[in-house]
Amino acid sequence: MSPTISIVIPVYNRSSYLPTAIESVLKQTRQDFELIIWDDGSTDDSLDIARHYAKIDQRVTVLSAIHQGQTPALRGAFSITTGTYVGWIDSDDILAATALEETAAILETNPQIGLIYTDYLVINQNNQILGKGHRCQIPYSPDRLLVDFMTFHFRLMGKEVFERAGGIDLESGLAQDYDLCLRLSETTQVHHLNRPLYYHRKHSGCISSQKRIELIYSSQQAISRALHRRGMASEYEIDVEIIGRYQLKRKATTAKQILA
């Protein structure tokens, strides 16, 4: 029998965090799922780690491809999902143990809802909780989504709704999740589960830190496409402000200075 839920993890050189991400899925209180790990040409031990879990748990499927970027990796992974509901977590994040149970229950009892998203907590590289994500405080509406990406994590959606909306768009760049949520908001009801069921990791190697400007412009393009789809482009255009904040701080005292 096909699993009810398909979870995707795209990974590229995340060997430090990948075991924690995988185990957070395998430890779910709801167990009727498949986990598809798509390795995007990693040069570290990520692929070996993924294959290790595939050997010990038959629900895990691992695929490996040449490095193309996260968007093609996501599209490839979702193309082989078999579940009624689909979702993904990033390879450096953590899924709360009851996330699948709580989100799938709402989708199953409310067929008019095609996408459900939860609150999330921000953690650092040592799994320490830094606080609740700021996006959790933003009320959802399809119009507000045009300027605020509140449907952040964790998201579970009906596969039929996901495919009808067009799935992962290869032209969406780094904003593939935002672009998808905008399209879903135009075709189905969206529900916010006000429970922190996802742990989003902040560290120096994450995409939002390394490629911030590219992510901002990919988001701008996603909003622009949404304005055209919604028939609003003749009246509105998206204006982007990239704000830099600067401060001076004292340099760390070196060992040579201490000994002088």
Q: Are 12 and 41 in contact (CB under 8 A)?
A: yes
Residue 69 burial by Cβ neighbours in a 10 Å radius (0-12, 13-18, 19+): middle
Distance CA 195, CA 137 (A): 12
What global pTM score does this model have?
0.88
Q: Distance of alpha carbon 181 from its chain centroid, rounded?
A: 11
Burial annotation 174-189 (CB, 10 A radius, 16+ → b, else e)? bbbbbbbbbbbbeebe
pLDDT at 135: 93
In the chain, which residue ranges form alpha helices assigned H by DSSP? 18-26, 46-56, 70-78, 99-109, 159-164, 176-185, 207-210, 212-229, 255-259
pLDDT in tens, 156-201: 999 999 999 999 999 888 899 999 999 999 999 999 999 999 999 9
Bridge-based pairing of strands 189-201 and 94-95 is antiparallel
Q: Which 3 state secondary structure label does DSSP give 250?
A: coil
Structure tokens at 171: 């032209």
Q: Which 3 state secondary structure label does DSSP give 201?
A: strand
Strand partners, 122: 131, 200
pLDDT at 258: 36
Number of other residues whose CB lies within 10 A of the CB of residue 165:
21
Number of other residues whose CB lies within 10 A of the CB of residue 40:
26
Structure tokens at 110: 């409310």
Q: Are 238 and 182 in contact (CB under 8 A)?
A: no
Map out the domains of the chain with their CATH numbers: 5-231 (3.90.550.10)
Q: What is the 3-state secondary structure (H, E, C) of 2-13?
A: CCCEEEEEEECC
Stretches where the chain sits below pLDDT 50 are 253-260
Distance CA 198, CA 188 (A): 23
Rg (CA), the chain: 19
**DSSP code of residue 253:** P
pLDDT at 252: 54
CB under 8 Å to 40, separation ≥6 — which residues? 10, 11, 12, 65, 67, 68, 69, 70, 72, 73
pLDDT at 196: 97
pLDDT at 2: 83
